[in-house]
Structure 1
């Protein structure tokens, strides 16, 4: 079992074809090892005729040893097929500069990509049904891509973009946030927290409203034979709505207990009315 004090070494970022993302991760990795200066400036090689002191010789040897370690990290991060395309691999700076030249792209390509990202950022808006977390993550992803391409995008610009592109159901929330906060000093994290609170309240309100509708519907319906909210003559099978609720009820499933047909109650039965008239005529004839 590993001890509690054991430290997990960070993994070396593998190059996957996305240079901007990989270079950011790799730079951070090499800085954590205190090797980035060798990639950025290279080894300070003295002139051939320069006589070095013992301290200078030791410093130069230490730099070369660190450079070898840095090259080792780069070799592990870059696939063999890509390394074979790099002609000069004497130092870590040579490898890094070659990767930057081959995969970062020209200035023209960068400008075209940045222009596309700017357009995407301008038309960005929250979709109906999209959550606050998903939309803010999508906005920040676009903003970070622009920054990688050299765009100087301030946090306040991202905050304003999020506020002014929320869906319609957040309009009153946005107005409240703008009135109660200074947008210039409002952070993205604070904005996200505020929007999440309102989103949770709206979700709870919808759930409670749906539960209330179901409860009300169940309270106005019942199953039985001529008993419950409906009071009237005759008996029938089916579900009835109470007259107290003022609701219309479909009698298509109601069975008459006289003729056993559907669509009416016993007291409304047309066959019963006919039988009553016949019986009355027979009685009247006997009297006469």
Structure 2
């Protein structure tokens, strides 16, 4: 317990309109807290007619206690998870529309005059990652080329140097 308290507790992820991204973060959070098994499966009670051992009884009670932390007038953590998935994941048509909007945003993306390279790089990666979450198969070379082609003219010499000294097809984003 003393060892655990020295770590910073992770924040509970909030849905930001992108269910797939949120569900990935939330699953990691719940796994860290050792609650994921309650979402993935229901509480496993002892078989009918079989008297559980004290250890099994304690484990079932612990699972029930963890599962009591619930919302949305649902009976179990699994029911809550399924309800959130249904509400926020959206239909294929909605996902396709969201992906189209992200593609347009990516295509029209340009570095702002007063923007730092790190800020622009981060802004580009956020959009690219959202596109990937929505199912877009996006290679690093596409993102790298977008960044290099859409920087302000004051970085033209840097862009030229990068393009001349590197094979962009095998360059990783982290290397850029």
Q: TM-score, normalising length from structure 1?
A: 0.50
1:46 Cα deviation after fit: 7.7
In structure 1, the residue matched to 2:119 is: 134
Determine if the alignment matches structure 1 residue 109 to structure 2 residue 94.
yes
More strand by share: 1
Which structure 1 segments of 5+ residues have no match? 192-288
CA displacement at 1:182 relative to structure 2: 2.6
> Which structure is larger by alpha-carbon Rg, 1 or 2?
1
Over 3 Å counting, the alpha-carbon distance change for 1:108 and 1:12 in structure 2 is: same
The CA deviation string for residues 137-187 of structure 1, in whole angstroms up to 9 with x for no partner, is: 110111122122232323332222212222222222212112212323323
Report if aligned partners of 1:12, 1:26 keep a CA contact under 8 Å in 2: no
Alpha-carbon distance, 1:121 to partner: 0.9
Contact 1:14/1:22 (CA < 8 Å) preserved in 2? yes
Using a 3 Å threshold, how does the CA distance of structure 1 residues 63 and 164 change in structure 2: closer, same or farther?
A: farther
Partner of 1:272: none
Between the aligned partners of 2:80 and 2:50, the Cα distance in structure 1 is 28
Cα RMSD over matched residues?
Answer: 3.3
Change in 2 beyond 3 A, CA 1:12/1:159: same
How far does the alpha carbon of each residue in 1:209-232 deviate from its partner, in whole angstroms, 9 at most, with x for none?
xxxxxxxxxxxxxxxxxxxxxxxx
Q: Structure 1 segments of 4 or more deviating over 3 A?
A: 3-6, 14-19, 44-49, 51-55
Q: Determine which structure has greater relative contact order: mean sequence separation of CA pairs < 8 Å that are 6+ residues apart, divided by chain length.
A: 2
Change (3 A) 1:190 1:70: farther
Residue 138 (structure 2) pairs with residue 153 (structure 1): yes
**How far apart are the structure 2 equivalents of 1:95 and 1:131?**
42
Task: Note the 1:9-20 alignment, pairs <5 A.
Answer: 9-13=8-12, 15=14, 18=17, 20=19
Identify if the C-alpha distance between structure 1 residues 151 and 71 changes in structure 2 by more than 3 Å, giving closer, same or farther. Answer: farther
1:43 equivalenced with 2:42 (yes/no): yes
CA contact (8 A) 1:30 1:70 kept: no
Q: How far did 1:34 drift?
A: 3.1
Count of equivalent residues: 173
1:247-288 per-position Cα deviation (integer Å, ceiling 9, x unaligned): xxxxxxxxxxxxxxxxxxxxxxxxxxxxxxxxxxxxxxxxxx
Q: Distance in 1 between matches of 2:141 and 2:36?
A: 31
